[in-house]
């Protein structure tokens, strides 16, 4: 993500102090009924957000249909509109905007346009402050010194980030199909440690696909075939009567026993109480573990099991 933020983001946001307010949802009077975050996170009016999302999915090695919510949470990333708003407010509160005659007069004219009921650059400032219950700063921005201006911008960014995290949590709890498994083990908005400690790229990508349901297990692909959940059976089981969900794949399906046995044995060498856990608790523990040893073993098992599954299905 360092490459994106240092090389791509400055290009995508270049000059956004001027054009930013006009490509967000606030410049379109037809979408005022949508939630604030949905108005701002508009892929159609700001392609930069779409590029960021594509980059996140590329980083995780998942396909384009992977849940955006899971991708943002897995990497603990915020959308570009938050940085855009920060830059717009820095420009509004900068001494140059307040003291230079040309810029000062332009801002006065912009306010007049807004007062007449038309959308303008200043309308964006007003709408943001109104949304964040900070309208008291509209009329006394000229009286803010550098420290107060910096503090205001910090508070705005902090609120925007908090609201975005709440939106993700809400999306996670409301999406019972795509994110039904992810919400079992993902509790906190943070970059997952396995992304840094699993050094094998193929193993790490397989773990990312497994965690975000960007895989080819029947529980997922059955959604696209309109197969009811109760009939998304595992094609690797001889009796063909077990639903192929993530728990079945990771802990139960007998076709992976040759891989699972050394995997579990290695874990028990470090964690002696694993036998006391139910399958559900073991599954949650494995996927939420921050231990490097566990993450590397898990990623290796999932990658090899995916490979074995594909070989078995295509050969049968």
pLDDT at residue 24 is higher than 80: no
Q: Is residue 121 domain-shared with residue 153, that is, in the same domain? A: yes
Q: Is residue 90 domain-shared with residue 169, that is, in the same domain? A: yes
- pLDDT for 33 equals 39
Residue position matching structure tokens 């709890």: 173
Q: Encode pLDDT of 77-127 as tens digits.
A: 999 999 999 999 998 888 666 667 777 788 788 888 878 888 888 888 888
CB under 8 Å to 311, separation ≥6 — which residues? none
Q: Encode pLDDT of 29-74 as tens digits.
A: 444 434 677 767 666 667 888 999 999 999 999 999 999 999 999 9
- pLDDT for 30 equals 47
Domain boundary among 144, 161, 185: 185
Q: Is residue 160 domain-shared with residue 255, that is, in the same domain? A: no
Kindly state the tokens that stand for 108. Answer: 């006065």
Mean pLDDT over each residue of the chain, to the nearest integer: 87
DSSP β-bridge partners for residue 243: 233
Average pLDDT over residues 194-221: 94
Query: Strand, helix or coil at 175?
Result: coil
- pLDDT for 139 equals 74
Torsion angle of alpha carbons 290, 53, 35, 132, nearest 10°? 70
How many domains are there within the chain?
Answer: 2
Strands (E), 20-118: none
- pLDDT for 31 equals 42
Q: Is residue 198 domain-shared with residue 275, that is, in the same domain? A: yes
CB under 8 Å to 288, separation ≥6 — which residues? 185, 186, 187
216: domain range?
194-315
In degrees, rounded to 5, the angle at the alpha carbon of residue 236 between the alpha carbons of residues 231 and 241 is: 35
Q: Which long-range contacts (CB under 8 A, 24 or more apart) does 4-7 make?
A: 4/52, 4/55
Q: Is residue 180 domain-shared with residue 208, that is, in the same domain? A: no
- Say which residue, 30 or 259, is predicted with more confidence: 259
Q: Which residue in 59, 53, 49 sits closest to 3, CA to CA?
A: 59
């Amino acid at each position: 993500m360092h490459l994106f933020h240092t090389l791509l983001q400055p290009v995508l946001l270049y000059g956004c102090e001027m054009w930013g307010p006009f490509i967000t949802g606030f410049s379109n009077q037809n979408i005022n009924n949508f939630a604030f975050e949905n108005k701002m996170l508009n892929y159609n009016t700001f392609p930069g957000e779409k590029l960021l999302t594509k980059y996140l999915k590329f980083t995780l090695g998942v396909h384009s249909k992977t849940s955006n919510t899971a991708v943002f949470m897995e990497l603990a990333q915020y959308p570009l509109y938050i940085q855009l708003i920060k830059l717009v407010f820095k420009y509004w509160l900068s001494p140059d905007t307040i003291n230079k005659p040309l810029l000062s007069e332009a801002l006065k004219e912009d306010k007049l346009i807004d007062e007449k009921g038309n959308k303008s650059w200043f309308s964006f400032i007003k709408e943001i402050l109104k949304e964040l219950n900070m309208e008291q700063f509209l009329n006394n921005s000229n009286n803010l010194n550098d420290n107060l201006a910096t503090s205001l911008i910090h508070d705005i960014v902090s609120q925007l980030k908090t609201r975005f995290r709440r939106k993700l949590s809400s999306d996670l709890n409301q999406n019972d199909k795509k994110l039904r498994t992810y919400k079992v083990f993902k509790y906190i908005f943070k970059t997952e440690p396995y992304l840094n400690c699993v050094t094998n790229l193929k193993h790490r990508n397989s773990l990312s696909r497994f965690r975000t349901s960007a895989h080819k297990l029947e529980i997922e692909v059955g959604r696209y075939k309109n197969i009811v959940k109760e009939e998304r059976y595992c094609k690797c089981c001889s009796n063909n009567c077990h639903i192929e969900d993530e728990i079945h794949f990771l802990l139960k399906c007998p076709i992976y026993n040759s891989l699972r046995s050394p995997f579990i044995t290695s874990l028990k060498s470090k964690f002696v109480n694993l036998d006391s856990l139910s399958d559900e608790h073991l599954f949650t523990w494995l996927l939420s573990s921050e231990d490097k040893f566990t993450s590397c073993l898990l990623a290796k098992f999932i990658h090899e099991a995916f490979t074995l599954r594909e070989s078995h299905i295509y050969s049968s």
